[in-house]
Amino acid sequence: MKLTPDSLAPHLERQLLPAYLVSGDEALLINEATDAIRASAKSKGFTERESHFVERAGDWEDVRASTGSMSLFGSRRLVEIRMHSGKPGVTGNKALVKLLEANDPDLVLMIMTPRLDRDAQSADWVKALDARGGWVQVWPIDSDRLMAWLRGRCRRLNLDVGDEALELLADRVEGNLLAAHQELEKLRLLTPAGAKVSADAVLASVADSARFDVFQLTEATLSGDTSRALRVLSGLRSEGVEPTLVLWSLIKAVRDTWNAYAAPPGQGPRVWQQRQAAALEKAARRAPRLSFLQLTTRAERADRMIKGRLSGNPWDEIALLAADLCASPAVLAPTVVK
């Protein structure tokens, strides 16, 4: 059974399945989902709790021995298995399948993993769990959904936050839901009952805790959103991301833009998400206004600066490249001196 963090609570009010898988990389939502399962199991008599952290193949022997033995006090148990990856290997796959097929009425199994890729999702143990239990897939809250997510959190906390304040808050916590949760809790404590949270209150209280990745930069530049692209770029720089990786993402965006514009129908770059396809479509429409010679010149200059072969700050040149790709050039690109 497929579940989401939003559908988990009403599901647990109706029933408790014999096994759950919680997968994803968003720490706040993972913790909330696992806490809800623990609370539901405890309320239904599963008062004993065991935790296993599986890192090596030999750790599965401990899991088998523990789950195969009777509880010391004859209690019903919640057994938690936390894996450092979604691929437990041959030994772990067999152990999990056997454990899931045992259908022990005195045991609830909860497995926690990072996000599962396509190969991991097709493993026997995942199929066995999906058939007998619940799979809570936790996905990051992207920028388009962040405002709605924050509004929902504000309602739960009885916080009245204006649109301007909410937009400011979203800018400061994007990509960092744990920081968003903490900042809302702080605002709840600082705001008098019945008062509305203003933008000034957010400015005074909320730290800039936004986190970004290079894929967000690619999406922003393909979409032609200059201000967002430069904000993401600034965040990546402050977080210590290597400029080589950032430059790679922009070069890929340039290449994808050209291929989407010049390639025959159906032969452009492959995309995996609707958002990416929409951004690439915008880039293709913008391509006739772009100078691909200037873009490659910018990229070459940035690369030489990173390698110390040309004086200058590579981050500045990367920012100019991002602006050029958004069709908002700041200055003309100098000729590269060989």
Number of structural domains in the chain: 3
**CATH number of the domain bearing residue 232:** 1.20.272
Do 9 and 104 lie in one domain? The reply is: yes
334 within a domain of the structure (yes/no): no
Q: Are residues 113 and 163 in the same domain?
A: no
Q: Examine residue 302 and state whether it is found in any structural domain, yes or no.
A: yes
* 174 and 114 within one domain: no
Does the residue 189 lie in any domain? yes
Residues 161, 218: one domain? no
Same-domain pairing of 222 and 279: yes
Asked whether the predicted pLDDT for residue 232 surpasses 80, the reply is yes
Domain that holds residue 190: 143-205
183 and 232 co-located in one domain: no
Same domain, 7 and 130: yes
Q: Map the chain to HEC letters.
A: CEECHHHHHHHHHHCCCCEEEEEECCHHHHHHHHHHHHHHHHHCCCCEEEEEEECCCCHHHHHHHHHHCCCCCCCCEEEEEEECCCCCHHHHHHHHHHHHHHCCCCEEEEEEECCCCHHHHCCHHHHHHHHHCEEEEECCCCHHHHHHHHHHHHHHCCCEECHHHHHHHHHHHCCCHHHHHHHHHHHHHHCCCCCEECHHHHHHHCCCCCCCCHHHHHHHHHHCCHHHHHHHHHHHHHCCCCHHHHHHHHHHHHHHHHHHHHCCCCCCCCCCCHHHHHHHHHHHHHHHHCCHHHHHHHHHHHHHHHCCCCCCCHHHHHHHHHHHHCCCCCCCCCCCCC
Q: Is residue 260 part of a domain?
A: yes
Task: Verify that 193 and 249 share a domain, yes or no.
Answer: no
pLDDT value at position 134? 94
pLDDT in tens, 90-149: 888 888 998 888 878 888 999 999 998 888 888 999 999 988 899 999 988 887 788 889
Same domain? 190 vs 294: no
Please indicate, yes or no, if residue 335 is contained in any of the structural domains.
no
Q: Are residues 52 and 8 in the same domain?
A: yes
pLDDT digits over 174-211, tens only? 878 888 888 888 888 888 877 888 888 887 777 666 77
